[in-house]
Amino acid sequence: MPISTQLFLACMTVMRILCFAVAALFLMLAVRAQFDPEVKLSWLTSTAGAVVFIVTGLACGMLRRALQRRIQGGASK
């Protein structure tokens, strides 16, 4: 497997983990926004941000899985 493919797989894994971590932070912000009037973002905006990062993390996972299947399929031929 070329180094560029390995690097891309690693980057997609890191992006997926970071997306889910940021989504968790947005969800914690949404909980805090519900009870703390000092938080400027509303809970709806924070939850929407979390949903966006969850969808992005899922897309990174799907792309990584598709690339992994293509690599494994190409190596067996």
pLDDT digits (tens, 9 = 90+) for 20-64: 999 999 999 999 988 988 988 899 999 999 999 999 999 999 999
User: Which pLDDT value is given to residue 16?
Assistant: 96
Q: What's the number of CA atoms in the CB half-sphere (13 Å) around residue 31?
A: 5
Q: What is the pTM for the complete model shown? A: 0.82
Q: From CA 26, how far away is CA 37, in angstroms rounded?
A: 16
**Amino acid type, 51:** V
- The 10 Å Cβ neighbour count of residue 57 is 19
User: Which pLDDT value is given to residue 1?
Assistant: 62
pLDDT band of residue 75 (cuts 50, 70, 90) is low
Q: What is residue 21's three-state secondary structure? A: helix
**Amino acid type, 50:** A
User: Which pLDDT value is given to residue 20?
Assistant: 97
User: Which pLDDT value is given to residue 39?
Assistant: 87
